[in-house]
Amino acid sequence: MGNGTVRVVRKRPSWATPASWSALSQAEGFTLIELMLAVSIVGVLASLAVPNYLDFVEKARVAKTVSELHGLTKEIKGYALGAEQYPDSLADIGRSTMLDPWGTPYQYYKINCGTIADIGSLARLKLRKKHSPQVIPAADSPFMHRNGHISFAIDHGDHQDLLHFVQGGGGNGGGGKGGGGGGPPCGGVGGARKDRFLVPINSDFDIYSMGKDKDTVAPLNPPKSHDDIIRASDGGFYGLAKNF
């Protein structure tokens, strides 16, 4: 004490017997185990929740795509009413840079190059979900013309459906406006989306998203096309290609 040092002596409480100290140490050990168990439970719950969340996000993207396809369809048909034909590309309606929820441009393919009168007839042709029109190529048609052709689209309906004439022009080497262009042949179905029977799913135009994998092929049956979000049956179906 002479040098000014103070020594603090910690004493065990009088009530703390060796047995009680051992119990206290065990209690602290169990608390650590419980904490580890809680962390494990949280990890398991997170592993279950994350896939569900990702699935929810993917469904939300599909729903948004369907909504945007409806909007694009309205714009395409609005253009057709004014120009008396469907646009050659989405650039004609100012949507060439519009991206789907996965960051890929929407895909458009013009099939019917008919006049406004033909488009009006097409609007009255009701197509059912899984029965797209069957197109007879112009080469098999008895109606031929030097500067154009006519194809038939017959619905698999109940005798109340209409016979739809698809007017074409420009031949197989022509563009979307009837010859000399770089687009698909007028009235052509070569690049059109097709069902498992290789029948075009639309008779007017295709508009679709390539989906999550950002890739596709024309037929819907290959796995590469399953995640595509499509418009089919001339607007009678919107959704995942695998569900059509």
Inform me whether the pLDDT recorded for 15 exceeds 80.
no
CA distance 220 to 199: 10
How much is the pTM?
A: 0.60
CA proximity to 155, closest of 141, 178, 136: 136
Q: Which of 69, 215, 199 is CA-nearest to residue 137?
A: 199
Which parts of 7-139 are beta strand (E)?
Answer: 107-110, 134-136
For residue 130, with 0-12 CB atoms within 10 Å meaning exposed, 13-18 middle and 19 or more buried, which class applies?
A: middle
Q: Give me 143's structure tokens.
A: 């109606």
Residue 128 reports pLDDT greater than 70:
no
Q: Which residue has the higher pLDDT, 38 or 117?
A: 38
Report the C-alpha gap between 243 and 237 in whole angstroms.
Answer: 10
Listed ranges 23-27, 80-84, 106-110, 176-180; the one with the highest mean pLDDT: 106-110
**Overall average pLDDT of the 8-17 stretch:** 54
- pLDDT band for position 47 (cuts 50, 70, 90): confident
Over residues 121-132, the mean pLDDT reads 46
pLDDT tops 60 at residue 13? no
Q: Which of 12-26, 60-74, 80-94, 161-175 has the highest mean pLDDT?
A: 60-74
Look at 29 and 202; give whichever has higher pLDDT.
202
Dist CA 108 CA 97 (whole Å): 12
